[in-house]
């Protein structure tokens, strides 16, 4: 299982996450987000990271050509899409794509089956915000056949890691707000404690 820490806005937080074993970090390029970062700032951080850390850019309904240009400029490894992007849109992206789906009790799981050309993230539905809600959806809704393939997001905290490892068993988890002292700034102690516990559980599975 992999772990991605999203909502990175500064080099100190990025290096902290890398030091304690995060597999990936995420930059949010959606201007309405509390964790928004400019392409230029993300590029500066990206150049200072260890070479094997995976870097992901989060976009919402952005022009595909702009996504491709920014990805190359910043040195991203993958794209994460949180808008209304279609499978046809994904074909126009020149890099690996993760498509996020907002889940509530009425979600039509057949929608996921139409996306064959990308990774799948499951996040919590919110009517007024895209990601970063700090709330979980009912993980029991996730079809068994999907669980080992997904990236799980939404309200992930250290006290839920045992359930995630023992029951859900996703390919990866993604979290942001639960490790913050305020939007866009990570809490050092929370990051260290979470990643130490995550890596302890991961090592026990090997």
* 6 in active site: yes
Phi, psi of 58 (to 5 degrees): -100, 125
Which CATH number covers residue 76? 3.20.20.70
Owning domain of residue 129: 2-205
pLDDT for 142-198, tens place per residue?
Answer: 999 999 999 999 999 999 999 999 999 999 999 999 999 999 999 999 999 999 999
Give the chain's domain count: 1
Has 84 been annotated as catalytic?
A: no
Q: What does the pLDDT look like over 108-132, one tens digit per residue?
A: 999 999 999 999 999 997 656 565 5
Marked catalytic residue, from 6, 17, 18, 118: 6
Choice among 13, 23, 118, 123 that is catalytic: 123
> For residues 176 and 14, what is the distance between their CA atoms, to the nearest angstrom?
12
State the burial class of residue 54 (Cβ atoms within 10 Å of its Cβ: 0-12, 13-18, 19+).
Answer: middle
pTM: 0.94
């Amino acid at each position: 299982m992999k772990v991605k820490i999203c909502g990175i806005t500064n080099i100190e937080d990025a290096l902290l996450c890398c030091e304690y074993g995060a597999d990936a970090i995420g930059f949010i390029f959606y201007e309405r987000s509390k964790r928004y970062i400019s392409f230029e700032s993300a590029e500066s951080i990206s150049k200072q990271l260890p070479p094997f850390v995976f870097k992901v850019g989060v976009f919402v309904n952005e022009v595909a050509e702009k996504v491709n240009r920014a990805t190359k400029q910043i040195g991203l490894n993958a794209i994460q899409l949180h808008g209304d992007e279609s499978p046809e849109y994904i074909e126009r992206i020149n890099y690996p794509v993760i498509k996020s789906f907002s889940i509530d009790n009425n979600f039509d799981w057949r929608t996921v089956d139409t996306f064959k050309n990308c990774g799948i993230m499951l996040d919590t539905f919110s009517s007024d915000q895209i990601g970063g809600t700090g709330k979980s959806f009912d993980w029991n809704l996730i079809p068994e056949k999907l669980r080992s393939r997904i990236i799980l997001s939404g309200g992930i905290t250290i006290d839920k890691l045992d359930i995630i490892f023992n029951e859900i068993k996703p390919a990866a988890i993604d979290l942001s707000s639960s490790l913050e002292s305020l939007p866009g700034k990570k809490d050092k102690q929370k990051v260290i404690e979470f990643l130490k516990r995550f890596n302890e559980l991961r090592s026990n599975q090997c």
